[in-house]
Structure 1
Amino acid sequence: MDDLDLRLLNEFQRDMPLVSRPFRAMGETLNLTEAEVLSRLAAMREMGRISRVGATCRPNTAAASTLAALAVPEDRIEEVAEIVNAETGVNHSYLREGDWNIWFVATAPDQDQLAESLARIEDASGLPVLSLPLLRAFNIDLGFPLSGPRRSMALDRAADEDAMQPGDRPIMQALSQGLALVPQPFAALAATLDRPEAEILQRIEALAQARILTRVGVIVRHRALGWRENAMVVWRLPEAQIEAAGEALARIPGVTLCYQRRTVPGLWEFPLFCMIHARSRPEAMAVLDRARALPQLDGVEHRILFSTRCFRQRGAVITTDTLPRRKGRAA
């Protein structure tokens, strides 16, 4: 990428201008024309450097979601990955180091449909699914700077779920799939939903202010941009220590996500998760060393699960009104 591409990504991973012609407004910041911004974004999407221009949606607000895992024998990895990715609601899936080696994020419009999806994966694979829903977020904004020194991310603030209104889910689904790269993308979305553009813009701004949309902007593919090491680090510690440890961990420069998930006694007893994205494994381990030095994590049992392969990365399923739904038994 040239410097302008990098600035375009760095400056607009969040806080995309919510105006009728957002790409013109972005271009004014970068001294580019609207057409140049659109051309650059289209080229980066074509090359796989970005997944979309749109938004990320907070888990378990407008839809149900979970992080899940399977312990897959080495000779079945390709087969089981295909089974997992056959589910419409699976938006991220990775092969990671460790016994539980295929990890995926599954989403659905409600808990019943999410349970059906996980049950189909169990039926087709013959393997138990470990489901670890989110309980508390310390930082769930993956829009970290792509250049310059690593810096700590802001702690998350709770979502105002009362801000949701009827009709918001189709807007969120469209943002999860990506806006059209045209001069007036919100007008194009409004026409699709048969609603006024001003109303669409107002609802997006309200959802972002309420933290139901965690960010609106350019959603990048980190691996394609050179951030090839993705470590999920999980920590085993008692409930009473999780909040202090999570807040301290989320402030470590280089920790890109941090949250608490449900445990499963006898199967998974690591409630605190963090993600470290880095350009090399030594860089990732240096971040982890700073985390391990925290007083709140001193001597705490933990596991490091680097990803070795990305099977899928795309936006979440918020509503299936426009998506095909597969039949299957209920969980």
Structure 2
Amino acid sequence: MFDEQRFYDRLQRDLPIEPRPFRSAGATMDLSEHAVLSVLARDVGAGRISRIGAVFAPNVIGTSTLAALAVPPSELEEVAARVNAYGAVSHNYARSGHRYNLWFVAGARHRAALDTLLLRIASDVGQMPLDLPMEREYHIDLGFPISGARSRRSRRRMQPPAATLLDDDEWRLVAALETGLPLTPEPFHALARQCGVPLHRVLTRIAQWRASGVIRRFGAILHHRPFGFRHNAMCAWDVPDDCVDKVGIRLAGVAPVSLCYCRTRREPVWRYNLFAMVHARSEPELQAALDLFDREAGMAPMPGVVLRSGTCYRQRGTRYSWEATPG
């Protein structure tokens, strides 16, 4: 009998980097290559899966930012569509709980291109987006435990890899990876043809990136809502700068946290510098997670805000490979 929970708990990470990855992955679950590809094709088509491929560590091969706009509720759909017209935008959500209610993520090869993008969006929508680049990460993992609860994590601070300069061949490989592997028995062959890089170099480079942490995980990238994670919130706190690392490491150890990082403040309009994201299957589960923040991480004394996720206007991997000329 096919066990979907086991299937996706395994395939969200560590898809084999070899010529027939789906055959090898299936063998560990007593599934044929054809069966693995059939399930993945079904769920990509149904919108349950974003893609099969790489999640790059943030700000390692390029740069990205979390941005926000304060939009009248009646104009959210229109403004979200304007923001989504830019290919560099990867995530775009309505969030309630603050006057900044439309939140999006954008990436680029370098900061100058990202600044240009934000200026273009500002011109298009009539306001400059709140720009909140990440300063330090404490935990980032959007793999979802389909078959059970997350376990408590070590509070050891993550050491992300250093920024990496890519050559032209590597940028072509990144561009090909951004849309995911083709669902064919030999996807890396197709990837090599698409980016014009020999197969052995494609396999070697992806394996090296994964081993070094440049690629955070490699496998099935799920859209969390179709798998039941419909009650989600982004939380932010105003934490004194001299203790934000200590608090961030402690907060990252709370089991329900899927993202935890420090971002730049933008006072006076945005005073918060420590962020955590939690994804839950129900409102009671979400509230229990928020209670854990106070009980296990001591967040209650710190001024904070809870921004509950509303409409998802876009969710896909960060796009770094586009280029913009600073103007």
Q: What displacement does 1:186 show?
A: 0.8
When normalised by structure 2's length, the TM-score is 0.94
Structure 1 residue corresponding to 2:213, chosen from 207, 211, 214: 211
C-alpha distance in 2, partners of 1:4/1:55? 24
C-alpha distance in 2, partners of 1:62/1:167? 13
| Equivalent residues in 2 for 1:280-291, closer than 5 Å | 280-291=282-293
Residue equivalent to 1:182 = 184
Residue equivalent to 1:38 = 37
C-alpha distance in 2, partners of 1:81/1:72? 9
Change (3 A) 1:102 1:162: closer
C-alpha distance in 1, partners of 2:258/2:51? 20
C-alpha distance in 2, partners of 1:136/1:306? 23
Question: Residues 304-323 of structure 1, C-alpha deviation per residue, up to 9 Å, x if partnerless?
Answer: 001111000112222127xx
Question: Residues 255-290 of structure 1, C-alpha deviation per residue, up to 9 Å, x if partnerless?
Answer: 111011011120111100000000012101101111
Residue equivalent to 2:102 = 102
C-alpha distance in 1, partners of 2:60/2:261? 16
C-alpha distance in 2, partners of 1:120/1:34? 45
C-alpha distance in 1, partners of 2:45/2:113? 32
Residue equivalent to 1:134 = 134
Residue equivalent to 2:51 = 52
C-alpha distance in 2, partners of 1:95/1:153? 29
Residue equivalent to 2:148 = 148
Structure 2 residue corresponding to 1:309, chosen from 302, 308, 311: 311
Residue equivalent to 1:228 = 230
| Equivalent residues in 2 for 1:86-97, closer than 5 Å | 86-97=85-96
Q: What displacement does 1:298 show?
A: 4.0
Structure 1 residue corresponding to 2:172, chosen from 146, 170, 173: 170
Structure 1 residue corresponding to 2:241, chosen from 239, 243, 247: 239
**Contact 1:96–1:305 under 8 Å retained in 2:** yes
Residue equivalent to 2:261 = 259
**Contact 1:90–1:104 under 8 Å retained in 2:** yes
C-alpha distance in 2, partners of 1:130/1:160? 26
**Please, which moves more after superposition, 211-220 or 293-302?**
293-302
In the alignment, residue 174 of structure 1 is paired with which amino acid? A
In the alignment, residue 185 of structure 2 is paired with which amino acid? P
C-alpha distance in 2, partners of 1:70/1:269? 15
**Contact 1:140–1:156 under 8 Å retained in 2:** no
In the alignment, residue 139 of structure 2 is paired with which amino acid? N
Q: What displacement does 1:3 show?
A: 4.8
Q: What displacement does 1:297 show?
A: 2.4
Change (3 A) 1:236 1:261: same
Structure 2 segments unaligned to the other structure (5+ residues): none
Structure 1 segments unaligned to the other structure (5+ residues): none
When normalised by structure 1's length, the TM-score is 0.93
C-alpha distance in 1, partners of 2:269/2:244? 19
Q: What displacement does 1:54 show?
A: 0.5
Change (3 A) 1:83 1:170: same
**Contact 1:109–1:320 under 8 Å retained in 2:** yes
**Contact 1:93–1:313 under 8 Å retained in 2:** yes
Q: What displacement does 1:152 show?
A: 3.1
C-alpha distance in 1, partners of 2:114/2:164? 23
**Contact 1:94–1:312 under 8 Å retained in 2:** yes
Q: What displacement does 1:170 show?
A: 2.0
In the alignment, residue 122 of structure 2 is paired with which amino acid? E
Q: What displacement does 1:19 show?
A: 1.1
In the alignment, residue 80 of structure 1 is paired with which amino acid? V
* Alignment partner of 1:194 is 2:193: no
In the alignment, residue 105 of structure 1 is paired with which amino acid? V
**Please, which moves more after superposition, 248-257 or 143-152?**
143-152
Q: What displacement does 1:65 show?
A: 0.8
Aligned-residue Cα RMSD (Å) equals 1.8
**Contact 2:69–2:130 under 8 Å retained in 1:** yes
Residue equivalent to 1:116 = 116
Structure 2 residue corresponding to 1:273, chosen from 247, 272, 275: 275
How many residues of Structure 1 are paired with residues of Structure 2 in the alignment? 324
Change (3 A) 1:32 1:3: closer
In the alignment, residue 90 of structure 1 is paired with which amino acid? V
Q: What displacement does 1:166 show?
A: 5.2
Q: What displacement does 1:249 show?
A: 0.8
**Please, which moves more after superposition, 3-12 or 245-254?**
3-12
**Contact 2:144–2:224 under 8 Å retained in 1:** no
**Please, which moves more after superposition, 40-49 or 160-169?**
160-169
Change (3 A) 1:148 1:179: same
